[in-house]
Amino acid sequence: METKLIYLMSIIFSLGVYNCNEADGGSSQSPPNASTFTSIEDLRNSLKPDPHVETIDPSASFSISGPDGTTITCTGNSILDSGGNQVTDNVIISLYEFNTVDEMILAKAPTTSNGNLLVTGGSFEVTAENATTGEELQFTSWGCQCSLNIQTNPSTTHQNQMILFDGNTNNVDNNGLEVVDWDPANADGGTGAQGVFTAFGIDMGFSNCDVLYDMAGQNGTQFEVTVSGVTDYTSNVEVWLIIDDFPSVVMLTSVNSTPALQTYVGSIPTGLNGTLIGIHIDDDNFLRFGSLPITVAGDDSFNIDVDYGTEAEFAALVESLVVN
C-alpha cells in the first residue's frame, strides 16, 4: 500500500512540473540576443552607410563635400544621360565616403586589384540621377575631379605613390553577390600637402586612392579559412582579413574543396599580421560573427569561432580591430 502511495505521489508531482513548464512556455530555449536578416545581402543593405545627398543644376559648375572631407567638383555641363546628351534637369548627387578600413568592410569595398593587395588611402562612391526622370547619369571624361583626406595612416612612401583607381563591379563573391574590384584609372592625380589626394578625370561609381603593394623580396603564399557551424560557403557567409602591417582589407571570395574560403595563390606575403573576421547568417536568420588574430606562416588553415550578436555589436567589433 505504501509503495502504491509513493508511486501515485510521483505521478502527481510530475504532472505538476509539466503543467508549470507548459505555463512558462515549455522547456524551449530563449532566442539568442542577435539581429535577424533574411540573407547576407539583407545585412549588407543595412550596413552600408547613408550617402551625403545634394541636388544641383548641371548647367553650372558645382562642388559637393561629404562630412568626412571628400569633395567632388565638376565644371558646367559635365553630366550626361545614357545617350551621351548633356542633362538640363536638376540632378541628385549621392556621395558615399569610405575613408577608413572599418568603413570599407561595412560598405563591402575590399582593397584588392585582380587578386593583388592594395595599400589604401580611402575610397568613395558617387552616383547621379535625373531628379525628374530618375535616370542614372554619368560624368564626361574630364569634367570632374575629387579631393580626398587620407585617413588610413599609410607610410609616407606608400602615400606619395598613390594613384586613382576605378571600381569595377562586374564581379561576384562566394555568395553570388556583386563585389568591387579595382583597376588603375585613366586620370591625373596624386597626394599633396597635409595628406590630401586630388585627381582629375574621375568616373561615376567607385573610386579610391591606392598603390599596389610591392611584394619584391617576399615569399607569396595563401591560406584557407573555415567558420564554425558553416558547411556551405556559397550562401550567407563572408570572411575578411584586416591587414595590420599596412592599411588594406581583403575579402576571401574563392571556395575550395575543403570546403573553406581561400586567398589567391601567392597573393599574401609570408609573415603578414592581421585579423580575420567571419560573418554568418544562420538557418534561423540570426547574425553570427567573430574574429581571429593571425600571423601567416604559409599554406595555413584557420578557423574562426562565431557567436550570436547584434548589428551594432558587429560594427563596434570591426571598428575596434582597425589599427590607427
pLDDT recorded at residue 29: 80
- Counting residues of the chain whose pLDDT is more than 70, the rounded percentage is 91
Q: Is the pLDDT of residue 192 over 90?
A: no
Tens digits of per-residue pLDDT, 308-324? 999 999 999 999 999 76
Task: Report the alpha-carbon distance of residue 252 to residue 110 in Å, rounded.
Answer: 10
Higher pLDDT, 240 or 30: 240
SS3 assignment, position 99: coil
Single-letter amino acid code for the residue at 201: G
Enter the C-alpha cell of residue 308: 550570436
- Asked if 242 contacts 100 with a C-beta cutoff of 8 angstroms, the reply is no
pLDDT recorded at residue 324: 63
- Counting residues of the chain whose pLDDT is more than 90, the rounded percentage is 87
Which string of DSSP letters, residue by residue, matches 225-275? EEETT---TTSSEEEEEEETTTTEEEEE-EE-SSS-EEPPTT-EETT-EEE
Distances in whole angstroms, Cα of residue 38 to Cα of each of 35, 229, 314: 10, 18, 17
Terminal-to-terminal C-alpha distance of the chain: 79
Domains 49-212 and 216-320 share a fold: no
pLDDT recorded at residue 159: 96
Q: What CATH number was assigned to the domain covering residues 216-320?
A: 2.60.40
pLDDT band at 164 (very low <50, low <70, confident <90, very high): very high
C-alpha 73, offset from chain centre: 26
Task: Report the alpha-carbon distance of residue 110 to residue 208 in Å, rounded.
Answer: 11
As a whole number, mean pLDDT of residues 272-279 equals 98
Parse the chain into domains and list their residue ranges.
49-212, 216-320
Q: What CATH number was assigned to the domain covering residues 49-212?
A: 2.60.220
